[in-house]
A and B are shown apart, each in its own frame.
Chain A
Amino acid sequence: MAVHALPRDLAETTAAYDRRRRNELLFFGAVVLALAALPLAVRDVYAQNVIVLTLMYAALSQSWNILGGYCGQISLGHALYFGIGAYTTSLLYTKAGILPWFGMLAGGLLAAALALALGYQLFRLAGHYFSIATIVIAEAGLLLVHNWDWAGAATGIQWPYVPDSWATFQFGRDKLPYIYFALGLFVVTWLVTFLIEGSRWGYWWRAVKDNADAAQSLGVMIFKSKMAAAAVSAFFTAVGGSFYAAFVSYIDPESVMAFQFSLLMALPAVLGGIGTLWGPALGAAILIPMTEVTRSYLGGSGRGIDLIVYGALIMVVALARPQGLVSLFTRRPAPKV
């Protein structure tokens, strides 16, 4: 009963709906507690690194899912917002000494503002035209940063070495602070999605995705809905980028804005179940450790076996479970898109 993320059935009574929502929250609380205890049991540094990345991608994919899954706008350019977060935070910190926490907020707001400005034009494009435009804009952003000397151009930005501190969010060896921040980010994005799902906005977005024309005729404000989804999604993606910059202490254009980041944000949601509450987290929990493990055990030789395994998995899941793996746990069939 726990993993339900589907729209409220017309047949479902209010009481049953409230019970399902409460159960979802309780289940979520249990999962978070288990995740919080995990790093205390797993002390290996490599494994803790994988946990940080998995939680970060769960949060990023959850953010992507708000626009891509709930609103049906398939962005393949979210690396742009990730990069804006990483660069805003790094530049403010290294150039002006502004602590990463403020940089994080600034990066998020900047990304949200850019998403609104771009969305004003982009949301007039349909289907593949929208997806390709998002790729193109992200690639243009990557090229511009590549040629921006003040921001380090191709060399990137190295964060100064400082003693461990929460103020600068720099920890040399200790991974726990990063694990708990990434977990916190995941909790926030999950809760935002949970609240949206139960709100009028959530119904609007699903209506826009299922049938935009019908939704409009019923008075749903399509354009406003998409803009709001884009801004929320971009904000949290940029916060994730800021976190990543602080975590690795060194960024360059390729390592935060390459096309593969846009894919890595979309893939967990697709794998787990697009437009569902639990899909992105489930997808990230499978995809990220698998990517890391195949890369370290099969990719070192540069022989491409890691790519073959990775690509085959994407293909098999897309073909065999189009509604995502989360559908294995739900009783009702996923809604058709």
Chain B
Amino acid sequence: MTPEIFIQILASGLLMGLIYALIAVGLSLIFGLMDVVNFAHGEFMMLAMYATFGAVLLIAIDPLFLAPLVVAALFVVGATAYLGVVQYAMRAKANLGMVQIFATFGLAVVIRGVAQLLFTPDYRNLPPNLLGGKTVSLGGIYLPLPQLAGGLVSVAAFTGLWLLITKTDFGKALEATREDAGAVALVGIDKNRVFTLGWGLGAALVGLAGAMLAINYYIYPDVGAPFALIAYVVVALGGFGSVFGALAAGILVGLVEAVSAVILPSSLKAVGIYALYLAVVFVRPRGLFGSL
């Protein structure tokens, strides 16, 4: 293996890893906020991909510029999921953890069914556009444009998220609610409102990832499942609730996947990720940056 090829592998792994991080961070954020694992997270991403597909057909603007629209739509989806389902799951008098798992899982199955009903199980892809299928060469390293754009968008989104959490009142309310959801009511923060916005934000982030992935991935009702599994691994690897952990673990998973794809048969590349995950949690049961 020449150094160029090795750098090529690492570069594509890094870009994919940034996308994985963007998919996972919303999940981690919601968990950090209220200890709920959203089992419909992959379905949120699938909805974002279909939203991109539909918007491109309707408005005929390049998918890249439609991403803000998709993000806004997913914010509404996330907030609605909280108000319509999750807030009731939080009030369960018995088996709380179980109720949350199966309420969000039931929601995931319903969303998948609705997607099948509306869009049929057929595989779709976007019509030719600015980025799709194009490659750019940077000093001898070839990078597919959709992945490069996805990686840059992910970096921008993490920067924005960091500013939001550290510099705004909403970010402070988010942090405070994460610390102690009971006590924030005493200082006049509406816990339910923070949870609603938190779900909106979490869905918007995975929506952004979905909008970027739609550019060069097939779109079908079950597309969320494999990405969701990677997102759970990323979140558990980074430590539930940790935003920085999601970023670091996402990149690590992307790199390990790219290397595994070279040294293992391609159908086994996911085994590399699973092995990494198990090796880490067996040594650090709360993930790399988990502090729970």
Asked if A323 contacts B113 (CB within 8 A), the reply is: no
Once the chains bind, are B109 and A314 in contact (CB under 8 Å)?
A: yes
Residues of A109-134 at the interface with B, using a CB-CB cut-off of 8 Å, are 121, 124-129, 131-133
Task: Tell me the total A-B contact number using a CB cutoff of 8 A.
Answer: 155
Decide if B89 touches A318 in the complex (CB within 8 Å): yes
Chain B interface size range: 35 or more
Contact A308 B114 (CB under 8 A): yes
Contact with A267, one of B31, B94, B102, B275 (Cβ below 8 angstroms): B102
Contact B103 A306 (CB under 8 A): no
Instruction: Say yes or no: A270 contacts B102, CB within 8 Å.
Output: yes
Contact A129–B94 (Cβ < 8 Å): no
Q: A128–B285 contact, CB under 8 A?
A: no
Give the CA-CA distance A136 to B85 in the complex, in Å. 27
Q: Are A337 and B274 in contact (CB under 8 A)?
A: no
Task: Determine how close the nearest CB of chain B comes to the CB of A94; give it in whole angstroms.
Answer: 23
Inter-chain CA distance A336–B121, complex, in Å, is: 42
Contact residues in B for A319 (Cβ distance below 8 Å) = 85, 88-89, 92, 99, 103
- Inter-chain CA distance A136–B281, complex, in Å, is 12
Say yes or no: A74-B110 contact (C-beta < 8 A), given A129-B286, A135-B232, A319-B92: no
Q: Cβ of B107 and Cβ of A311 under 8 Å apart?
A: yes
Residues in chain B near residue A133, CB distance under 8 A = 236, 277-278, 281
Distance A30 CA – B106 CA, assembled complex (angstroms): 34
**Beta-carbon contact of B117 and A308 below 8 Å:** yes
Question: With contacts A308-B117, A322-B95 known, is A132 near B110, CB below 8 A?
Answer: no
Q: CB within 8 A of A311: which of B37, B112, B221, B236? A: B112
Q: In the docked arrangement, what's the CA distance between A47 and B274, Å?
A: 41
Interface SS of chain B: helix
Complexed CA–CA distance, A324 and B98 (Å): 11
Given contacts A302-B120, A302-B121, A319-B88, contact A132 B236 (CB under 8 A): yes
- B113-A135 in contact (CB<8A): no
Residue in chain B with minimal CB distance to A153: B267
A311-B278 contact, Cβ under 8 Å, with A319-B85, A336-B94, A337-B95: no
**6 A-B residue contacts at CB 8 Å?**
A129-B281, A137-B278, A303-B117, A311-B111, A318-B106, A322-B99
Binding site for A on B (CB under 8 A): 31, 37, 85, 88-89, 92-99, 101-103, 105-117, 120-121, 221, 225, 229, 232-233, 236, 240, 265, 267-268, 270-271, 274-275, 277-278, 281-282, 285-287
Q: Known pairs A307-B112, A311-B107; list 13 more (Cβ under 8 Å).
A: A129-B240, A144-B271, A267-B102, A305-B113, A305-B117, A307-B109, A307-B116, A308-B109, A316-B106, A318-B92, A318-B98, A319-B89, A322-B96
